Amino acid sequence: MKRYLITGASRGIGRAIAEKLSAPDVVLLLHGRDTVALAEVCKFAKTQCAQVVPLIHDLALPSGVSKLIAEVVQERSIFWSIMPALRSLNLLPKSRRSSWSKLSASTS
């Protein structure tokens, strides 16, 4: 099953991406700040997807970023599926790279 995290999914490009990726073999984690607009996107996606998880946080605030990360980490499979990409792009902090490699290898 494919899982996608889409930030800004309540309107514009984020909404278009969410609608395009909606499919029976997909779990969408949809982020937005506007609860009403995000609910509309979720309603559409639920008719197409295996599962839809709404995530409502203001990413302009550090607390919003922290809360989003915490929720996404609860959906471990999506986090672990991006680990190889993070490693290959060298996006993990150098001091933590070996720790992340060990951690992701142990959960695969």
**Average pLDDT, whole number, for the chain?**
77
pLDDT digits (tens, 9 = 90+) for 12-21: 999 999 999 9
Which of 16, 19, 26 is CA-nearest to residue 78?
26
Q: Which backbone phi and psi does 52 adopt, to 5 degrees? A: -130, 130
Name the residue among 60, 64, 54 with its Cα closest to residue 27. Answer: 54
Instruction: Determine the Cα–Cα distance for residues 105 and 108; give it in Å rounded to an integer.
Output: 5
The pLDDT assigned to 108 comes to: 44
Task: Provide the whole-model pTM.
Answer: 0.67
What would the CATH number be for the domain defined by 1-74?
Answer: 3.40.50.720
Domain residue limits, the chain? 1-74, 76-108
- Classify 8 in phi/psi space as left (phi over 0), alpha (psi -120 to 50) or beta: left
The ranges of the chain with pLDDT < 70 are 75-108
Q: How far apart are CA 34 and CA 52, in angstroms?
A: 16
